[in-house]
Structure 1
Amino acid sequence: MREYTLEDFDYELPEDRIAQSGVEPRDAARMLVVHRDGRPFEHRRVRDLPEYLREGDVLVLNRSRVIPARLLARKPTGARIEVLLVREEAPSVWLALLRPARKAPPGTRLLFLEGEAEVVDVLEEGLRRIRFFADPWTLMERAGRAPLPPYLRAEVPFERYQTIFAKTPGSVAAPTAGLHFTEALLARIRERGVSVHELELHVGPGTFRPVKGRIEEHRMHEEVYFIPEATARAVNDALAEGRRVVAVGTTVVRALESAYGEEGVRPG
C-alpha cells in the first residue's frame, strides 16, 4: 500500500481565488459536476443541482447548528487567552482549545466579560477541560463569536455562517456544503420526487487542524452524530431498492458510514 505525504497533494492556489464572503443568493455558488463515466467536467451553479437528481433519490442534510464557540478571556495577570469551546462534557464542563495553550496549565483562571472559568485538566491533542462558574451557553450568546476557518480573514455575520436548516446547536464549524442551499432550491428538489431527510453531526475542531507529515499518522478528533429513525429507514430502503442516496457534504458521509453495519444504517 502506497504511503502518502503532504507533498503528494501540493498545488498552486492564489490567495485571490479564496472567497472571503458568500454569494447571494446562496445557490448561485459554483458547482463542479464530475461524471463517473469519464465525460468532461461541467462548471455549473448549485441552483442547477435538481437537473442531476431524479425521482426516488434520497437527499440527506446535516442540521447541526454552529455555536458561537470562540471566546476571549484574560488571566488575572491581564494576559489574553483565546478559548475555543469544543464539546460539552457535563453541565458547565467543556473541552476546549486554548491559545496560547502553554500559558494555561491546570488551575488557570479565565476571566470573561461575564463570569469566570478554570482549567481543570490538560488532555491529549492539546485539549483542556475547563469548568465554568457561570452558564457557558449564556456567555456564548452574549460574547461568543463564530469560530471561522483560518483562511477567512474578516468576520462573517453569524447567521450567514449557518445553513438555512440548522437546528441543533453543537458544531464549531459549519457543514459548508449545506451553506449553498435555499428554501427555493429545496422546494424544487422535492418537486422532482426526491425525499429530503436530516441527521446531525457536530463538526469538531479537527476541521481546523492541519495535516502534518504522513497522512496515515494524522489523527482526527472524535465527533458526535445522531441519525433519526426516519432518516435511517429512508436510506436503508433506498439502498435495498437500488435507489441513490445523495449526501450533502462530508459530514453527512462521515455520519452515514460510521453508522453503517450488516443491517444497514443504524439509527441513534
Structure 2
Amino acid sequence: MKTADFDFDLPEDRIALRPVEPRDSARLLVVRKGGLEDRIVRDLPEFLRPGDALVFNDTRVIPARLAGSRHRVGPEGEALSVAVEATLHHRDAPDVWSAFMKPGKRIKPGDRIAFGHLEAAVVSKGDDGLITLRFDRAGPALDDAIRAVGVMPLPPYIAAKRAEDDRDRSDYQTVYAEHDGSVAAPTAGLHFTPALLDAIRAKGVSTHAVTLHVGAGTFLPVKVDDIAEHRMHSEWGEVAADTAEALNRVRANGGRIICVGTTSLRLLESATDPDGMIGPFHGDTAIFITPGYRFRAVDVLMTNFHLPKSTLFMLVSAFAGTDTMKAAYAHAIATGYRFYSYGDGSLLFRG
C-alpha cells in the first residue's frame, strides 16, 4: 500500500485551535458500515450495552517542550552557543530522555544544553532523528525541574497558529489522567467529563484504565512512499494483570471492548495473543496497524479525526474499512466537523 492512498484534502479552517465547552458537547460522528449518524459526545451511552467495557488511557501529559541554549567550545577556545528547542519523546533511564530537537543538525554528541537551571549533555544522535539527553538530575527531581521549565507540547498544527497558554494546561489533559509521562494527549479522552463517566457506569458499562505514554513521534508525518517501509517509534505502556483478567471476563460474557483512543487500542492489541486472550503487558510497543491487520481485542473505537497520510488514519482505515473511513471523513469535512487534538470525535464500529 502507498502512503498516497491515505491522503485527503482538509481545509485549514477545519483544524480546531481550542476545544468546545463543555467537553462532552463536541460532535460525534457514528460510523458503521451501513451508514453515518451525526450525534454529540454526550450521546455516547446510547451506543453502549450493559456488560460492555470502556478502556481509557490514564497517562498524564507533562510540559515536555523545553527551550534552551546549546553550549560548545570552538576551535580556538571560544564559547559557541545557539538557541535550541527539545521535545521530549521517551524516558530511557531516571536521568535520560530521548528527544526531538530543533535545529537538530547543529546538535552533536558532547554538547551541553542549558534549559534554564536544568542542564543536559548530548549522549548520542540517532539516524531516526532522536537525540539522547542525560540530565544533571534524576527521578522525581528531574520531573520537578521539567515541570518548572517546560511548556505543554501542543501539536505542531496548533503551535504554528498560536502560543501555548495557561488554559492548555487543563484543556490538554484528560479528567482521569493519573500517570505522568506523555508528551501528547490521548485526545479522544479529552471529551469526557465526570458527568459523562457517571452516565456510562449507570448504564452498566465497566470502565478500565491502561497506560501508554504517548511519544512525540505521534506528530511525525509518514515520509516513505510505501507504508511497509515506515518505522514507528516505540512508546512505553502497561496493562495490569487484573485489568487484563477483567477484560477477558467481559469478552467471555459477551460484552464488547470499546477503546477510547488509538493509544489504548494499540496497547491492548499489543497485549493480546493470537487467540484473543489479553495478558499483562509492561514495556515498549511499536505496533503499526494498517489495513489487513486482524484485530484481536477491540470491538469499537472512539477517536478524533486524524491527519491525512498519518499512521492514525491508516489505523482507523484498518479498523472500520478504508472506503468507509474515506466516506466518513468526506462527510465530516463537508458538514463542518472540527479536526485533530482539540476537535470533534468519531465512534467506529469494526468493518
Query: For the superposition of Structure 1 and Structure 2, which TM-score range results when normalised by the shorter chain?
Result: over 0.9
Which deviations, in whole Å up to 9, do the C-alpha atoms of 1:83-141 show, x marking residues without a partner?
11112222211111111111110011101211311101112411111111144322211
Query: Helix, strand or coil: the match of 2:156?
Result: coil
Q: What is residue 22 of structure 2 aligned with on the other side?
A: 25
Alignment partners' CA distance in 2, 1:19 and 1:94 = 30
Alignment partners' CA distance in 2, 1:263 and 1:247 = 15
Q: What is residue 194 of structure 2 aligned with on the other side?
A: 183
Q: What is residue 147 of structure 2 aligned with on the other side?
A: 141
Q: Quick one: which amino acid aligns to residue 142 of structure 2? A: P
Q: What is residue 92 of structure 2 aligned with on the other side?
A: 89
In the alignment, structure 2 segments of 5+ residues that lack a partner are 72-79, 282-351
Query: Helix, strand or coil: the match of 2:128?
Result: helix
Alignment partners' CA distance in 2, 1:195 and 1:48 = 17
In the alignment, structure 1 segments of 5+ residues that lack a partner are none
**What is the 5 A alignment of 1:200-211?**
200-211=211-222
Q: What is residue 46 of structure 1 aligned with on the other side?
A: 41
Q: 1:107 is matched with which residue: 93, 107, 110?
A: 110
Compute the displacement of 1:263 (Å): 6.7
Q: What is residue 2 of structure 2 aligned with on the other side?
A: 4
Query: Helix, strand or coil: the match of 1:94?
Result: strand
Alignment partners' CA distance in 1, 2:13 and 2:267 = 33
- Deviates further, 63-72 or 89-98: 89-98
**Contact 2:89–2:217 (8 Å) recurs in 1:** no
Compute the displacement of 1:247 (Å): 0.6
Alignment partners' CA distance in 1, 2:109 and 2:81 = 18
The answer to whether structure 1 residue 58 and structure 2 residue 53 are counterparts is yes
Compute the displacement of 1:218 (Å): 1.2
Judged with a 3 Å threshold, the aligned counterparts in structure 2 of structure 1 residues 263 and 57 are, in CA distance, closer, same or farther, namely: closer
Q: 1:198 is matched with which residue: 206, 209, 219?
A: 209
**Contact 2:55–2:258 (8 Å) recurs in 1:** yes
How many residues are aligned here? 263
The answer to whether structure 1 residue 235 and structure 2 residue 247 are counterparts is yes
Compute the displacement of 1:58 (Å): 0.5
**What is the 5 A alignment of 1:116-195?**
116-134=119-137, 135-152=141-158, 153-154=161-162, 155-156=164-165, 157-195=168-206
Alignment partners' CA distance in 1, 2:157 and 2:41 = 22
Compute the displacement of 1:230 (Å): 2.6
**Contact 1:58–1:234 (8 Å) recurs in 2:** no
Q: Quick one: which amino acid aligns to residue 262 of structure 2? A: T
Alignment partners' CA distance in 2, 1:46 and 1:217 = 36
RMSD: 1.4
TM value normalised by structure 1: 0.94
Alignment partners' CA distance in 1, 2:7 and 2:131 = 33
